[in-house]
Amino acid sequence: MSTPIHLSRLTGWGRTAGSGAHLVPVSAANVAEAVLAAPERGALVRGLGRSYGDAAQNGGGVVLRLAGSADDAVLNEADHEVTVGGGVSIDALLRLLVPRGFFVPVTPGTRFVTIGGAIASDIHGKNHHLEGSFGNHVRQMTLLLADGSTVVLSPTQRPELFWATIGGMGLTGIVLSATIHVLQIETSRCIVDTTRAHDLDHVLTLMEEGDHRYRYAVAWIDLMAKGRHLGRSVLSRGEHATLEQLPEADRVSARRYEANVLASVPPIVPISAINRLSTKAFNEMWFRKAPQYRTGELQSIPQYFHPLDMIGAWNQAYGPRGFVQYQVLVPFGEEDALRNVVERLASSGAASFVTVLKRFGAANPAPLSFPAPGWTLTLDIPVGTRGLASMLHELDIVVLDAGGRHYMAKDSHTTPLAIKRGYPRLAEWQAVRNEIDPDGVWQSDLGRRLELIG
Amino acid sequence: MQNSFGEPQSILLLGGTSDIGLAIVRRLASPTLRNVVLGCRDPAAAEATVRELSTPGVAVTAMEFDANRPQTHLGFVDRVVAEVGDLDVVVMAFGVLGEQSTYDLDPVAAATAVSINYTGSVSAGLAVAAQLRSQGHGWLVVLSSVAGERVRKANFVYGSSKAGQDAFAQGLGDSLEGTGAKVLIVRPGFVHSAMTEGMKAAPFATTPGKVADVTADGLRRGKRIVWAPGILRIVFSLLRHVPGPIFRRLPLG
CB contact under 8 A, A17 and B222: no
More confident of the two residues A94 and B250? A94
pLDDT in tens, A337-367: 999 999 999 888 787 877 999 999 999 999 9
Residue A399 Cα, gap to closest chain B Cα (Å): 15
Residue A1: pLDDT above 50? Answer: no
pLDDT of residue A389: 94
pLDDT of residue B253: 57
Of A60, A321, A416, the CB nearest to B136: A60
pLDDT of residue A291: 84
Task: Please give the C-alpha separations between residue A364 and each of A82, A123, A157, A165, A329, in angstroms, as whole numbers.
Answer: 21, 12, 17, 13, 15
CB contact under 8 A, A59 and B1: yes
> Chain A window 308-337: which residues touch B at a Cβ cutoff of 8 Å?
320-322, 324
pLDDT of residue A314: 85
CB A173 within 8 A of CB A442: yes
Residue A4: pLDDT above 70? Answer: no
Residue A48: pLDDT above 90? Answer: yes
CB A104 within 8 A of CB A131: no
Alpha-helical (H) ranges within chain B are: 19-28, 47-53, 73-84, 100-105, 107-114, 120-135, 156-175, 208-221, 232-239, 244-249
Alpha-carbon distance of A414 to B4, in angstroms, equals: 9
Least CA distance to A383: which residue of chain B?
A: B5
pLDDT of residue A363: 98
pLDDT of residue A6: 54
Residue B229: pLDDT above 90? Answer: yes
Residue B182 Cα, gap to closest chain A Cα (Å): 10
pLDDT of residue A63: 97
pLDDT of residue A403: 98
Residue B85: pLDDT above 80? Answer: yes
> Chain A window 407-436: which residues touch B at a Cβ cutoff of 8 Å?
412-417
Q: What is the mean pLDDT of residues A319-337?
A: 95
CB contact under 8 A, A20 and B179: yes
Mutate to test the interface with B, among A445, A446, A452 (most CBs of B within 10 A): A445
pLDDT of residue B152: 92
Average pLDDT, chain A: 93
- In this prediction, residue A267 has a pLDDT band, given cuts at 50, 70 and 90, of confident
B103 is known as an active-site residue: no
Of A9, A53, A61, the CB nearest to B4: A53
A24 exposure class (CB count in 10 Å sphere: 0-12, 13-18, 19+): buried
Residue A2: pLDDT above 70? Answer: no
CB contact under 8 A, A59 and B5: no
pLDDT of residue A224: 87
pLDDT in tens, B18-68: 999 999 999 999 999 999 999 999 999 999 999 999 999 999 999 999 999
- What does the angle CA A296 – CA A299 – CA A302 come to, to the nearest 5 degrees? 150
Residue B193: pLDDT above 60? Answer: yes
Q: What is the mean pLDDT of residues A157-175?
A: 98
Residue A412 Cα, gap to closest chain B Cα (Å): 5
pLDDT in tens, A111-135: 999 999 999 999 999 999 999 999 9
Of A41, A412, A417, the CB nearest to B4: A412
Residue A401: pLDDT above 60? Answer: yes
- In this prediction, residue B175 has a pLDDT band, given cuts at 50, 70 and 90, of very high
Q: What is the mean pLDDT of residues B192-217?
A: 92
Residue B101 Cα, gap to closest chain A Cα (Å): 47
- Which listed residue (B65, B76, B139, B158) is catalytic? B158
CB A56 within 8 A of CB A63: yes
Which residues in chain B have Cβ-Cβ distances shorter than 8 Å to A324?
4-5
Give backbone dihedrals phi and psi of B198, rounded to 5 degrees, phi first. Answer: 85, -10
- Percent over 90 (pLDDT), chain B: 94
pLDDT of residue A329: 98
Which residues in chain B have Cβ-Cβ distances shorter than 8 Å to A447?
none
Select from B3, B30, B10, B6 the least CA-distant residue to B82: B10
pLDDT in tens, A276-315: 778 888 788 778 888 888 899 999 999 999 988 888 888 8
